[in-house]
């Protein structure tokens, strides 16, 4: 789908839901705030301080806009245990959504699908790991269309999208915690470009734990 999008010039967004996104969506809707905090002590690192109904509602709207949503396979209470109650709360019918696994970003690398997708394209990299990721991509012959090296939490998503508008690029890779869902959705809907929620894959490529092939 991304290859078709790049060929035709259509926008396309792939966002992924992990426990951080689901706890943010669930707090004060399907879970009490304190329970969401208890389950998600990592949330400030991921870019959200609960309670934050503004970010929660923006995340929900991003799901309505997203073309592909990666969802967790785990039946852990904070993964699939929240996924379906959250979708139900917001009136999102799983049968009408284009779903994939939330680990699809890793699968694209492991199956050798990502590098051919990026080669010959100008790639924008977004997030705190973007300088290192850009180096890895450039060594593999990928043209870097721009770097947005800092996203300071979910409330900084709008600034990242505004910065993206100042670059010429064909595809965006966004590694910015929970903010990535918001950024990818807006890059696709407002800038008309394909965007992938790249997640911690940026860290693994930068460290050499995973390699492009």
Q: For the chain (length 213 residues), average pLDDT per consecutive 10?
A: 72 96 98 98 97 98 97 94 97 96 96 95 96 97 97 98 98 98 97 97 96 89
Segment holding 23, helix H or strand E: helix 19-26
Q: Residue 134: what pLDDT?
A: 98
Q: Residue 156: what pLDDT?
A: 98
DSSP state of 127: S
Rounded distance, CA 58 to CA 182, Å? 7
Q: Residue 80: what pLDDT?
A: 94
Q: Residue 82: what pLDDT?
A: 97
Q: Which domains does the chain have, with CATH numbers?
A: 2-14+105-207 (3.40.50), 15-101 (no CATH)
Q: Residue 86: what pLDDT?
A: 98
């Amino acid at each position: 789908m991304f290859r078709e999008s790049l060929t035709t010039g259509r926008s396309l967004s792939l966002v992924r839901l992990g426990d951080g996104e689901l706890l943010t969506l669930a707090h004060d809707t399907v879970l009490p705030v304190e329970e969401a905090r208890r389950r998600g002590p990592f949330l400030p690192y991921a870019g959200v301080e609960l309670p934050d109904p503004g970010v929660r509602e923006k995340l929900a709207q991003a799901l309505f806009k997203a073309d592909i949503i990666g969802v967790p396979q785990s039946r852990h209470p904070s993964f699939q245990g929240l996924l379906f109650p959250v979708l139900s709360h917001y009136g999102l019918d799983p049968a009408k959504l284009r779903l994939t696994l939330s680990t699809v970003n890793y699968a694209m690398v492991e199956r050798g699908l990502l590098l051919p997708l990026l080669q010959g394209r100008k790639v924008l990299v977004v997030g705190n790991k973007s300088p290192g990721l850009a180096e890895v991509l450039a060594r593999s012959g990928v043209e870097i269309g721009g770097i947005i090296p800092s996203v300071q939490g979910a409330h900084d998503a709008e600034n990242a999208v505004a910065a993206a508008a100042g670059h010429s690029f064909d595809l965006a890779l966004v590694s910015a915690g929970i903010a990535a869902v918001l950024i990818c959705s807006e890059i696709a809907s407002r800038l008309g470009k394909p965007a992938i929620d790249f997640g911690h894959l940026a860290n693994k490529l930068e460290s050499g734990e995973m390699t492009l092939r």
